[in-house]
Each structure stands twice: as structure tokens, then as C-alpha cells.
Amino acid sequence: RVDVGRRQRKMDVEMSTWSDGPPLMAWCVTLMGLALALETHLSWRQRQLLEKAKKKPSGEAYERLGKEKYVEAVRYAKDKCSFAAFSNLVEGAISATTLLTFALPRLWNATEAICGTVVDCQEERFASDAVRSIAFALAWTLTSQAMDLPLKAYSTFVIEARHGFNTTTPKVFVKDAITSALLTCVAAPPLVAGAVAILRNTGPYAAMYLWAFLATFSILVAIIYPTLIMPLFNKFDPLPDGELKTKIEKLAGKLGFPLQKLFVMDGSKRSGHSNAFMYGFFKNKRIVLFDTLLNQCNEEEVVGVLAHELGHWKLKHTMALFISAMTVLFVQMSAFTCIRTSKLLFRSFGFETQPVFISLILFQLLIAPVDLIITLAQHFVSRLFEFQADAFAIGLGHGGPLRTALLKLEKENKASPVVDPWYSAYHYTHPPLTERLAAIDAKMKQVE
């Protein structure tokens, strides 16, 4: 059994002098602060630009939208930007407080003590490293989800409702939160247990095995998420027979896209925003249209949007992004195996033991600045792919309908009419609409 009192006294002594040891936590908190300062500065730039646009409306977006819609879009963008900045401050404060108060080692000791107390059997059988790690992961993840609920509720029932987008009822909101928590309880144990087993038993080959395990888990999630998990939140009905279905099937056949099913999703159950996506592996592809998209665009425009989406498939954008993500993951796992047994790493964050699962969490904290750089690169590539998919749709003869669809969606979704370039580079996976329209117009002139 764990002597909780002895462990706690020893840990308190170490915590009181953590700055005398390796400065890894200090560096981690400092880098978190710098990242937060960067995000705050970018949000300030965007809000300043929106405030200027509100006072002196002008530009291409103003000509497209008209005064009333332009002002509405500016207000919505400003509210979202301000709330995002506030959310980042709250989340940053929570993260820093978590590290500085040594909440992670305290929680680990608590779950370790509970596992050793509740299960009155041999420690090596029940209170094993895997069991303690699962208990820790569940406690930490569920607590984080619960702490996020107030911000999500404000975003849904205040920001989105204020601008006419929210259709989520309190009942649906609570149901979604409970469903997400239950899914966490189902998914976390096998993921954590598998990672712990690999780290404990594969020695110098841990990076390769851990990468293969996480990659396989990601593929499995990609397979079951749209077919088993998404139906828990939304309803999927087959697209009724008609001209739209015929046109989509004709487009898919022309491109060799192995379309098996067409669905309409009740996106309006939660929001007035619209979207469309496709999923599936190999010869089992499916396309999903939000009901809001069908309400906002005509048939030709919907086909134009899908021509863009199918362009991502034809140009192998999805596969390229997946391969790059798996490459980054392998590099990260290789770096992780080089430091995962470092005593300095654990001691700096307040751990007196070296749990293998905790080493993975601490590594993620340390490489957060690198993840930021990777995210910026991914956003750059993603925006480039959007231009290419637009050009692909134009090549198929759907440039005009795609253009008018984007204009309608801009108006209906109140997309920000002005965007700071640095804010866009940091946050946006899609180019601002003004840039997309300019590229579409130039490409259509070339085709003509």
C-alpha cells in the first residue's frame, strides 16, 4: 500500500525548491506565456482591423455584402475574436496554474493511492502501471472537459445566439457533454493501456512500435468516427432521388470517385452554419451534405462545392496531409524515446517516480513550441491546397457556381469581411474569401 502521508511530505519539500532543480518547468511555463502573448497580440491586431472596418466600411467585401450585412459580419467576427482571446487567457492561466501547483504529480499520487486502496489484491496485478495510467488519464481528461463547458456554453448560447446561428437547446448541449464523456471512458483505456505496454516492453524499438500503434489507432478512429460516433450526435438521411443526386453521382463517376452513399446531415439541429464533407477508405466513399447547405445554395452551387471537395481527393491532398502528419508523429516519437527515462525531466515537474505514461505527457508539454511551428506550416499547406481545389473545380467547368456558392456562404455564415494577414496565417486553414475570389477570377479568365 502507498504511504500517502510520507509521499506527500516528500513531494512538498521538492515542490518548494523546484526552481533550484532543472529549469524544464520554468522554460515550459515561459514558452507557454510567450505563445499566449503572441496569440493575444494577433487577436489585438484583428480586433483593431475590425474596429476600423466598423467605423469606415469599405473594400471589396463591403461592395459584395452591402452595408447591413457588412456591419453584421464585422460584429460577429469581433465578438468571436474577443471571446477567443479571452478563452486563450483562461486556458493559459489554467495550464500555468496546473504546472506551478504541481497538479499533475498530485493527481498521479492520488490515482495511485486509490488504485492501491480500492483494489484489495496484489499490486502487480491490479494496481499496475497501466491501471494507474488509465485512472490518471480519465481523471485528467474528464476534468478538462468539465472545465471547458462554461466557455462552450457561453460561445453557444451567447455569442452564436446573439448573431442568429445557435439552434442548440440546453438539453442537446447537456446530452452532447455526457456522450463525449462516455466516449472518453470507452476510448481512453485501450489507448493508454496500449501505449504503456509498448513503452514498458519494447526497449530501444519503442519509437517504431509506439508510432505504429498511434497511427493504427488514428486510422481506426477515422473509420469508425463517421459511421459509429457521429450518428450519436446527428441524424444522417439518404439524399432523396432527384436532379441533385443525379448530378452528384455523374460528377463522382466522371472523376472515378467510388461513391457508395449520399447523406444529408441535420446540421441545423445545432447551428445555422453550413458545410459538406466526404469520408471513407478505398472503394467505400461517402459524401455528407449539411441540410443548411442545401437551404442556402441551389443545386448547381452545391455541385460546385462538391467539385472543390472532390478536387482534394483527386489531387491526393488528404493523403498528403495524412502522410505528413504520420511523418511528424514518427519524428516526435523518436525524440521522445531519447528523453523518456530522464530523471531530470520527472524531477523538474515534481514527480518522484518515473511513470512511463507520464513521460509521454511531459514530452508533449516540452514540444508545444515545435507543435506551434508545425501547425503554422500545416496551415500554409492547407491554404495552398484550397487554391488548388478551387482551380480543379474550375477545370471541370464548375467555377461559376463555386464562386456564387462562396459568396452566398460568406453572407449566410457572416464570414469576417477583413482579416489581418498575420492573424490569418496563425489561425486560418482556408484563405480569406477575397483572396480565393481573386484566384478564381484569374483562373477562370485563363480557362476562357
User: In terms of DSSP H, where are the helices of 283-418?
Assistant: 291-296, 299-314, 317-339, 343-348, 356-366, 368-395, 399-413
Our answer to whether residue 390 is catalytic in this structure is: yes
**CB-based contact 160:166 (threshold 8 Å):** yes
Contact 91, 67 (CB under 8 A): no
Using the structure block, give the residue that is written with the C-alpha cell 466516449. 183
Active-site residue, selected from the candidate residues 129, 309, 410, 420: 309
Q: Which residue has the cell 492547407?
A: 382
Element (H, E) at 290: strand 285-290
Contacts within 8 Å (CB) and 24+ apart, 150-158: 151/87, 151/90, 154/83, 155/83, 155/87
The reply to whether 352 belongs to the active site is no
Q: Which of 129, 386, 390, 412 is catalytic?
A: 390
Backbone angles phi, psi at 22, to 5 degrees: -60, 135
Q: What is the DSSP string of 70-81?
A: HHHHHHHHHHHH
Residue type, 152: K
Catalytic residues: 309, 390
